[in-house]
Amino acid sequence: MIDFHCHLDLYPEPERVIRECAARRMYVLSVTTTPRAWSGTSALATGYERIRTAIGLHPQLVGDRKRELPQLLHLLPVTRYVGEVGLDGSPEFMPFWRDQVEVFEKLLESCASVGGRILSVHSRRAENEVLSRIESCSGAGAIVLHWFSGRTRDLQRAIDIGCWFSVGPAMLRGKAGQKLAALMPRSRVLTESDGPFASHQGRPAMPWDVEEAVRELASIWRLSIASAEDQLLSNLRGLVAEQA
Ligand code: MN
């Protein structure tokens, strides 16, 4: 199983979560929300082959943490994965919208200047704006839109640009999310938990809750669970090969 967007460092006992992921032989992308969190979070995954750590600056935190951007840019040459980054157009984050855009544009340019990276991108209520920035900075690398919740026509644009998508149980529980997932090219989809932020059955989502997303995707794709899992693993290999 694959959890391509998870905040391992934000669980009360991250070591236990990591051990459980390892026991289940899961592939995990551990995303961070601030550049300062990167070294500690990346240390958590030391010795775990299937867990990778991404350096990020969450758009919702840009108001307070913009000054940490140089730290992120400094570490970019040694990190292959970047996230969580992006834009958030919800009213509460609009007071620092211009800072969000400045940080995101700078990040994309910097990714391009080091040869491209694999990015886990947040686009809530800002799908158009995120896609425009990605379009104007084509060398930034492989873009994985996490928990995409835009309109069908934004999704089509993302597909045309060549984006990837990570989808989780929470997204696939609703009709709107299912409809979007059904329109995504099967070879561009990965699973994610977005734990512990996302909730699952009334408690924080755990990485292995992606199992439910695999079941949903299998049903959307009309495949067996085993074939859906094969498809997802082959997608992960494709993504990593695309941005080698
Ligand atoms: Mn997240």
Find out whether 58 and 30 touch, Cβ atoms under 8 Å. no
Range of the domain at 118: 2-242
User: What are the tens digits of pLDDT across the range 75-123?
Assistant: 999 999 999 999 999 999 999 999 999 999 999 999 999 999 999 999 9
What's the Rg (C-alpha) of the chain?
Answer: 17
Residue 3 has pLDDT above 90, yes or no: yes
Tokens (6 digits) for 34:
């601030």
Q: Residue 204: its pLDDT value, please?
A: 97
Please list the residues that pair with 113 across neighbouring strands.
Answer: none
User: What are the tens digits of pLDDT across the range 37-53?
Assistant: 999 999 999 999 999 99
Find out whether 69 and 57 touch, Cβ atoms under 8 Å. yes
Q: Residue 114: its pLDDT value, please?
A: 97
pLDDT band at 138 (very low <50, low <70, confident <90, very high): confident
The overall average pLDDT reported for the chain is 97
State the number of CA atoms in the 13 A half-sphere of 163 facing the CB: 31
Q: Residue 122: its pLDDT value, please?
A: 98
How many angstroms does the Cα of residue 8 sit away from the middle of ligand 1?
10
User: Distance (Å, rounded) from C-alpha 115 to C-alpha 141?
Assistant: 8
Bond prior to 216 in cis (omega within 30° of 0)? no
How many angstroms does the Cα of residue 197 sit away from the middle of ligand 1?
7
pTM here is 0.97
Structural domain tally of the chain?
Answer: 1
Tokens (6 digits) for 7:
């905040």
**CATH number for the domain including 117?**
3.20.20.140
pLDDT band at 149 (very low <50, low <70, confident <90, very high): very high
User: What are the tens digits of pLDDT across the range 196-225?
Assistant: 999 999 999 999 999 999 999 999 999 999
User: Distance (Å, rounded) from C-alpha 215 to C-alpha 156?
Assistant: 24
How many angstroms does the Cα of residue 5 sit away from the middle of ligand 1?
6
How many angstroms does the Cα of residue 25 sit away from the middle of ligand 1?
22
How many angstroms does the Cα of residue 139 sit away from the middle of ligand 1?
24
How many angstroms does the Cα of residue 84 sit away from the middle of ligand 1?
6
Residue found by looking up tokens 């409809």 in the block: 179
Concatenating the DSSP letter of every residue in 3-42 gives EEEE-GGGSSSHHHHHHHHHHTT-EEEEE-SSGGGHHHHH
